[in-house]
Amino acid sequence: MMSQFLRSTSERTRGCLPCGLHWRVLVELFKKDGSQYWWYDFTLPGVPRQRGSTKQTNETRATRVAAAKLADAMAGNYDLRKRVPTLSKHWEWFKGTNLFTSLDPDTQRYYRNGWRMVKDTPLAKMRVTGVRNIDVLAVTISGSPSNVNNARRTVRRLLNLAVEAGIMPKCPAIQLLEENERHVLLDEETEAAILPHSPQPLEDIIKLMRDGGFRNQLELYPMRIENIDWEGKRYVVPDSKSPEGRREVHLSDRAMDILERRCEGRTQGWVFPSVRKGKHITGGLVNKQWVKARRAARLPESLVLYSGRHDCGTTLMEETGDIKLVMVSLGHRDTKATIRYTRPRPSRMREVINARRKKAAVLEFRAQSAAQR
C-alpha cells in the first residue's frame, strides 16, 4: 500500500472550510492494493472516522475531493449510514455495558420500560444520526404524560451516548410533555373503599405503605424478619434507592400487629415469602391484585399503590409541620423531593381556621369573665 499525507490541509481547504476554524488536520490520502482510485482517511473531534474512495485516479483531483470531504465533516455534513447503528442496535450495546449495569436498579427499570415502549416503533429501526425531535413526537406512546416522557427520555439518553461515542456531533432537543403531580392520595376514605376487595398480601401492603411510607419494590417486598426491632418498634431498611433510604422506620401499632402476625414462630426469613422457595413476593403479583381491587372499588386509574407513600408524607407534614422529619422518614436526599411527596388538602384550611376561631372565642370568653369579676 502506498500512503501519503496531505500536509498543510488548512491551506488546501481554505476555499471550502467554515470561517473561524483554526484546526490543523492531517488527511491521509492513499491507494489500496489493486485499486486505481485514491482513498481518503481522517478523524475529527466528535465525528466518526471518515474513510472512503475519492473516485479519482489523479492525485491532484483526489486531493480536492478529500479536502471537500473534510470541509463537509467540519460543517457537520457527512454520511456514514453503513457505520452508524440503528437505535435498536445502540440499545443492545448500551444495556450490555458498564454504563447501564452500574446504574441503580430503579434507573435500569426506568430505561428498560422506556425501551419496551420504543422497540416496536419506527424509531427502533432508524439510524441514530437520523433521529430528530419531529420523529420522536410523531410516535404514539399510550398512557400518561410520565409514560410518554419515559420513552422519550430513553431515546434522548441513547442519542446522548451516541454523541459521547463520537457517532454524531450533537443530540437533538427532545421535547417532553408536562407531567402532572399525583394529586390522588391513598387516604382513610380510599383505604376503606379498597380494602374489602383486597386479598392478601395486598391488604397488609396497603396498610404498611400508608403507615410506614415504604418504597414498595425496594423496601417493602424484600422485608427481612432479622431487620425488625421488636422492642424498639422499628424496621431498619438495609438497602434502598439512595444512601439516605437506608434508615430506621418507626412503626405504628397497626404495622407492628401486621408484622407480628406474619412473622409468628419465625426469627428469620422474608416477611412476604413467595410461593417460589427462597424468594420474596414481586411487583407482578401485587400489581395484579391492586388493579382488580381498584376496579372493583370503582376508584380512578390515577390512584396507584405508591400513593400510599405520598399519603404518609402528607400526614406527617400536616401533623408536625417539620419537613426535615418528613424528609428523613421517607429517606429523601433533600427537601425538594419531599415537597413533591406532600399533598396539601384544601379541606385543612377550614379545619385550621375553625380551630383558630374556637381558640379566639375561648380567650375572648375568659377576658369577659375576668372583666366582670
Instruction: Reduce the DSSP state of residue 302 to 3 states and report it.
Output: coil
- Give percent of the chain above pLDDT 90: 45
Nearest partner of 180 among 148, 218, 213, judged by Cα: 148
- Please give the helix or strand (H or E) that residue 160 lies within, else none: helix 145-164
Residue 112 has pLDDT above 80, yes or no: yes
Give this prediction's pTM.
Answer: 0.57
In this prediction, residue 257 carries a pLDDT of 96
Chain Cα centroid distance, residue 84: 26
Residues 6+ apart with CB under 8 A from 329: 213, 247, 249, 250, 312, 313, 316
Look up residue 318 and give its three cell numbers: 400536616
Strand segments (E) across the chain: 2-6, 27-31, 38-44, 47-53, 228-229, 234-236, 248-250
Cβ(24)–Cβ(9) under 8 Å?
A: yes
pLDDT at 179 over 60: yes
Helix (H, G, I), strand (E, B) or coil at 6: strand
Helix (H) or strand (E) holding 4: strand 2-6
Q: How confident is the model at residue 211 (pLDDT cuts 50, 70, 90)?
A: very high
- Give the pLDDT confidence score for residue 147 in this predicted structure: 85
Domain spanning 188-340: which superfamily? Intergrase catalytic core (1.10.443.10)
Query: Cβ(117)–Cβ(139) under 8 Å?
Result: no
361 contact partners, CB below 8 Å, separation of at least 6: none
pLDDT (0 to 100) of residue 83? 66
Give pLDDT tens digits for 37-71.
Answer: 998 888 776 566 777 889 999 988 998 888 888 88
**Directed axis angle between helix 87-95 and helix 105-118, to 10°?**
160
pLDDT band per the 50, 70, 90 thresholds, residue 253: very high
Q: What is the pLDDT of residue 26?
A: 65
Mean pLDDT of 146-152: 90
Q: How many CB atoms lie within 10 A of CB 98?
A: 7
Average pLDDT of 115-130? 93
pLDDT band of residue 4 (cuts 50, 70, 90) is: very low
pLDDT the model gives residue 143: 74
Span 332-365, pLDDT tens digits:
888 887 887 776 666 666 776 787 778 877 777 7
Instruction: Name the CA radius of gyration of the chain, rounded.
Output: 31
Q: Decide if 316 contacts 326 (C-beta within 8 A).
A: yes
pLDDT digits (tens, 9 = 90+) for 304-326: 898 999 899 988 988 888 999 99
Interatomic CA distance for residues 71 and 265, integer angstroms:
77
Burial of 22 (0-12, 13-18, 19+ CB in 10 A): exposed
Estimate the share of the chain in helix, then strand, then coil, as percent rounded to the nearest 5. 50, 10, 40
**pLDDT (0 to 100) of residue 209:** 95
